[in-house]
Amino acid sequence: MPPVTLVADWRKIASELPAAWDDARLKLTVDDETEAARAAALLGGASPFRRGKEIHLYAGRAGRGIAPDLLARLLRRLDREGIRGSLELVSAALFEPPKPPPRPSLVERWDTALAALPPDWSDAYAEVEIVSSDFVDRAALLLSPANPQRVPKSLAMRFRSARRFGYGVAPAMARRCFERIDAERILGDVRILHALSDTKPVYTQGPVWYVGGRTI
């Protein structure tokens, strides 16, 4: 019965790896230590590490270690040269897809939007857009202190905010509303559409906004 080749060893190891394997650490033990240096040279493309008759190397599918098919071709060189030994799996790691960065909360988006305004801002017209229609009504209820107005044919609501006085929800109250929405894990985005600075209302509740021919 012919000896098992190193290529056959690798194919058996690869067939038994989990479907989601990422990289595999391997150990090749050469039968004749005098041939170990020659074996390491033939495996040079795999960046092997040799210690005596043992040769350590990595195979990988996501950039780390040598590609599985290339490793098979290198091991076939050893088989053709008559270098005998045994290949075994030392350890294997599963592929872990990169995690997307966490989505900013509505509170964080509100804070960021306010931070971009001039220091003397007084009035803002803002929009919050919910990612799913399933949660628009609930978000509108939680945002009710801001008196939100639905934007037709969209998942957005708009509201006014006044920093010191006048018509519009206070920024801190709007923030509290967003905290409540975040607490229910309702996702969305917040942006400020228009802003005014240092307004001084005279016998009024604040500036009058005209959007699309309508007073808001």
Q: What is the 3-state secondary structure (H, E, C) of the chain?
A: CCCCCHHHHHHHHHHHCCCCEEEEEEEEEECCHHHHHHHHHHCHHHCCEEECCEEEEEEECCCCCECHHHHHHHHHHHHHCCCCEEEEEEEEEECCCCCCCCCCCHHHHHHHHHHCCCCCEEEEEEEEEECCHHHHHHHHHHCHHHCCEECCCCCEEEEEEECCCCCCECHHHHHHHHHHHHHCCCCEEEEEEEEEECCCCCCCCCCCCEECCEEC
Query: Residue 188: its pLDDT value, please?
Result: 95
Residue 157 resides in a domain: yes
User: What average pLDDT does the structure give for the chain?
Assistant: 88
Query: Residue 1: its pLDDT value, please?
Result: 46
**pLDDT tier for residue 161 given thresholds of 50, 70 and 90:** very high
Of 74, 94, 114, the last residue of a domain is 94
Query: Residue 216: its pLDDT value, please?
Result: 64
| Count of domains forming the chain | 2
7-50 pLDDT, tens digit per residue, is 999 999 999 988 888 889 999 999 998 999 999 999 988 889 99
Indicate if 114 and 192 belong to the same structural domain: yes
Residue span of the structural domain in which 168 resides: 106-198+205-215
101-129 pLDDT, tens digit per residue, is 888 999 999 999 999 999 889 899 999 99
Residue 209 resides in a domain: yes
